[in-house]
Amino acid sequence: MLVGKYQDNKFLIGGAGLFLLTIVFAIYFNQWYLIALPFAIVFGIVVSINPKIVYYLLFALIPFSAEINLPGGIGLDFPAEPLMILFTGLVLLLSLEHLRKWDVSIFYNWITLLIVGIFTWSIITTLSSTEPIISMKYLAAKLWYIVPFYLGTLILYHQRVAEIRPLVKLAVMTTSIATLYVVVRHAGWGFDFDAVNRAGRPIFRNHVTYGALLVLILPYLLYLWRTSKHPLRVIIYGALLMLFGLAIFTTYTRAAYVCVLGIVAGYMMIRLRLTTITIVAALLVSMIGVSYLIHNNQFLDMAPDYERTISHHNIDNLMEATVKGEDVSTMERVYRWVAGMRMVATKPILGFGPAAFYESYLPYTLTSFQTYVSDNPEKSGIHNYYLMTCVEQGIPGLILFLLLTILPLILATRAYHQLHNPELKVLVMAAALSLITIDLLLLINDLLEADKVGSYYYLSIAIITLCSIIADRAPSKSIQAITQEG
């Protein structure tokens, strides 16, 4: 006992000495960043003992992560993205160290195969890219989304699925704090339509990103509310649902409103086992619509009146203008979608290369669809992730991504009806509904490479994968159902 106390004291004395020595060096050499060295050492020791700390820290910081621009035109979501890179390295090291100890069957599934296939095709299209440097940056960023949030989730939770609940609680609580920050600031401007972007800064780039995070977290908040047995927690989650409702309404984001309806429709679709028929119907409607617009260049009839496409400062006027085709943001999307369709016709197989749309689309635009914001000072994308995938990675890339969109929903529906554990059923439903909201968002946005969206996309797919494995085989020691109440 005395030896243990001596060792503890020795460790504390040594740590304090290192900290003081670092301060002396920092002052003497006027290099203040050296003060961070002891904290970095302690953090490294803690991470080596329990890598899951980085994972929890990552989800805690995602709602507060802000976009910064680095030299060389590189954008970075700080501090989330550096942590994503760090956790990518940790997951890969864990994979090499513990591969023999794991039940590797968790990696033998169609979803993992599809993700590997998509990444492999991205490599192929990068080799033929019109902008190879930009495409290689895209590949690197894609890696630190897939590895931490999909592969990392499978690795960390394949034996203890119950620990997903504390992670979800952490994500919901930190998102709620970020939401309260925006709501309070927005209330100071009287919830003015034009003030929502200012209220969200610096942690939200704009009201679209803010609304996206709210609606994709909403199913997980409902999961906590539905499965909590403690009256006080039920009240707290109920209060947070009201906060989220107010926040979603005051985002003044059409996509967010549609996603709320999508959550309700998705719930009924899964409960009534209508997932497959709904997906088939949606694909048929999409193909018929595209075929109609292409036939005899019918899409030319959609060209807007340049003088009447304007920005709006009231939600009612915005909705009316959207229906009439007079809203500038809607018609600017059409302007880029038309260019995108012409680009697909030019390079239908390999596409222009990942992330190469912005650098390539101007020669394919039509002046009849131009709006007064078509100079695109923000250097934004095509605002439809499915079409963007087809433009940048060809029709094979689109097919692979559509399969990744469809398969998890089918597996989630089957798992929901096969699982006997009530909490697992609600969890897989929450993951599926969160995925549906992201799928809907991607129809008019290209946010999948944003940390506030891409992280939950792959987390939701990983949760569905784990629940599907549990549903498909008898309970075993390798995978445990959620039984703990949080």
Alpha carbon distance 77, 207 (integer Å): 17
Q: How far apart are alpha carbons 213 and 209 in whole angstroms?
A: 6
Is residue 465 within 8 A of residue 111, CB to CB? The reply is yes
Query: Other CB atoms closer than 10 Å to residue 140's CB: what's the count?
Result: 10
Residues with Cβ within 8 Å of residue 103, at least 6 apart in sequence = 158, 159, 478, 479
Kindly give the residue spans of alpha helices, DSSP state H, lying in 147-253: 152-157, 164-188, 196-200, 207-227, 231-249
Distance CA 57, CA 321 (A): 42
Contact status, residue 203 vs residue 79, Cβ threshold 8 Å: no
pLDDT of residue 193: 87
pTM (2 decimals)? 0.86
Q: Which residues in the chain show pLDDT less than 50?
A: 1-8, 306-312, 317-318, 320-321, 323-325, 476-486
For residue 137, which of 79, 193, 74, 195 has the smallest C-alpha distance? 74
Burial 432-460 (b: 16+ CB within 10 A, else e): bbbbbbbbbbbebbbbbbbbbbbbbbbbb
- State the CB neighbour count (10 A cutoff) for residue 322: 15
Identify the helix (H) or strand (E) that includes residue 284: helix 275-294
Reported as a single tens digit per residue, the pLDDT across 370-402 is 766 667 767 778 989 999 999 999 999 999 999
Peptide bond into 79 cis (omega under 30): yes
Is residue 14 a contact partner of residue 21, using CB atoms and an 8 Å limit? no
CB neighbour list of residue 121: distance below 8 Å, 6 or more residues apart:
393, 396, 397, 400
Q: What is the pLDDT of residue 19?
A: 58
End-to-end CA separation in angstroms for the chain: 36
Instruction: Tokens 């993700």: give the residue.
Output: 115
CA distance 376 to 387: 18
Give the Å distances, CA to CA, from 14 to 28, 39, 45, 300, 425: 21, 14, 15, 74, 50
Q: What is the pLDDT of residues 158-208, one digit of tens each?
A: 877 768 999 999 999 999 999 999 999 999 999 998 899 999 998 998 999
| Type of residue numbered 174 | T
Per-residue exposure over 359-397, b if at least 16 CB sit within 10 Å of its own CB, e if not: ebbeebbeeebbbebbeeeeeebbbbbbbbbbbbbbebb
In three-state secondary structure terms, 76 is: strand
What is the reported pLDDT for 483?
42
Q: Could you tell me the CA-to-CA distances from 370 to 191, 333, 347, 363 in Å, in that order?
A: 32, 10, 23, 13
Distance CA 423, CA 432 (A): 14
3-state secondary structure of 112: helix
> What single-letter DSSP state applies at residue 361?
-
Q: Could you give the count of Cα atoms lying within 13 Å of 123 in the half-sphere of its Cβ?
A: 6
Structure-token pair, residue 464: 């569905």
